[in-house]
Amino acid sequence: MKETSFLQYLEFEKRFSLHTITAYKKDLQQFLLFIKEEGGLSSVKEVRHPHVRSWMVHLLSEGMSSRSINRKLSTLKAYFRFMMKRGYLDHNPTDKVPVPKIGKRLPSNLKKDEISRLFDLVQEEEGFPGFRNRLMIEMLYATGMRRSELINLLISDFDTSRQQLTVKGKGGKIRIIPISTELRKKLENYLTLRATEFTDISLPYLFLTDKGKKLYPKFVYRTVHRYLSLVTNNEYRGPHALRHSFATHLSENGADINAIKALLGHSSLASTQVYTHNSIERLREVYQQAHPKAEEDNP
């Protein structure tokens, strides 16, 4: 059903990350299995918009959230656009399918006092694993980089003289992130410790596991989740919470939104503007708690 060609298109033409391609593949396989087993279809050419709607209803009945269904629908829309563009189909069955409405949810971020407690906790560990864990968490918060960007960061991406990191983001886009003098020194100390710990390893990646291997997504998630669980009750306690915190705290301290956009590696300003909403919510909270007139607004 041309799904292999579609996935190759995502990888080589759209230059999506491996994580994103894996998600698209899973969504597509779920849909193709559904139309075969539930719809009795033998070819994707037979798919019409009622089949797509039936799949969405099925996902809803399974307890899936509107946000997750929306993401799966986006996969199908991309797939069928690809099929039409390549001449495999003459119609797009997702055209008449409405997008499920989802409530607006602001990014989950840690409060500044939670960040302080977080680094106090991580600092207690000793040896290479402890130093790496602290630096890994501090890098995520101090730079706002994504988990995949941290994993793929090379030693050569660290420019000690200029105090900056070269980060390869989504779609292969390169951005430069400045770092503090303190973080530069910690990176230099880490590299010294890394060389001592792994004398016979020549991997180019900056961060390594306890066994000297390249980091992997679950390793980073588990490490971050373990420490965040000690300082916050937020529903989401993964690496992206530190990215959200980085952007929100910059916004709260008056940073220009275009500068935040550049640091995060966003292609659209709309993606960055959500952090100004986060700041507004925080200001509203402070106002309600501290301003004398706030009581008059709440009978």
CA pair distance 259, 216, nearest whole angstrom: 29
CA pair distance 3, 7, nearest whole angstrom: 6
117 is catalytic: no
49 is catalytic: no
Which residue among the candidates 36, 49, 111, 240 is catalytic per the annotation? Answer: 240
C-alpha distances in angstroms, 242 versus 159, 196, 292? 23, 29, 34
Which residue among the candidates 58, 170, 277, 282 is catalytic per the annotation? Answer: 170
C-alpha Rg value of the chain to the nearest Å: 23
Residue 214 main-chain phi, psi, to 5 deg: -65, 140
Which residue among the candidates 72, 132, 146, 194 is catalytic per the annotation? Answer: 146
Q: Which residues, 6 or more positions from 169, have their beta carbon under 8 angstroms from its beta carbon?
A: 146, 149, 175, 265
Which residue among the candidates 243, 244, 249, 261 is catalytic per the annotation? Answer: 243
221 is catalytic: no
170 is catalytic: yes
243 is catalytic: yes
240 is catalytic: yes
Instruction: Tell me the sheet residues that pair with 166.
Output: 176
Helix (H, G, I), strand (E, B) or coil at 299: coil
Q: Which residues are catalytic?
A: 146, 170, 240, 243, 266, 275
